[in-house]
Amino acid sequence: MDFPVSHLALAVGFGLVLIGLWGLLSHRNILRIIISFSLVDTGIHIVLVATGYVTGATAPILDDTMGPGEAALNAVDPIPSALVVTAIVIGFSVTAIMLAYAIRLYKAKGTLSIDAFTESKW
């Protein structure tokens, strides 16, 4: 039985999203919540790349051996991969900001438990 790679990538991606959501809902430590956000982010990236994957296809480079009609059938869609590269950079910056806030919160209260920040006023 031939199992497509894209189905495996989709399953892994959705699994990471579910694990990350479970971590967001079950943990009270800010660092574990940040790690859970990163897991959700990584799972979404894998799902997006898997949607653009075509089994047995080649890179989307047009040359003399592949005409325009063949390219539509035999090339991998480059748009999801380009979007994921952008999303990875944005995810790194958001994670860095969350970690900076966690450091500030730890300096202010001496703990990373979100229960200590219930009385904060905005």
Say which CATH number the domain at 24 has. 1.10.287.3510
* Structural domain contains residue 14: yes
* Structural domain contains residue 39: yes
* Structural domain contains residue 122: no
Separation CA 44–CA 41 (nearest Å): 5
**Band (35; pLDDT cuts 50, 70, 90):** very high
**Band (74; pLDDT cuts 50, 70, 90):** confident
Separation CA 33–CA 23 (nearest Å): 7
**Band (93; pLDDT cuts 50, 70, 90):** very high
* pLDDT, position 34: 96
Number of domains observed in the structure of the chain: 1
Tell me the residue range of the domain where 111 lies: 5-54+75-117
* Structural domain contains residue 70: no
| pLDDT higher than threshold 80 for residue 119 | no
| pLDDT higher than threshold 50 for residue 57 | yes
* pLDDT, position 59: 76
* Structural domain contains residue 13: yes
Residue type, 55: T
Q: Minimal CA–CA distance to 91: which of 59, 46, 29, 51? A: 46
* Structural domain contains residue 64: no
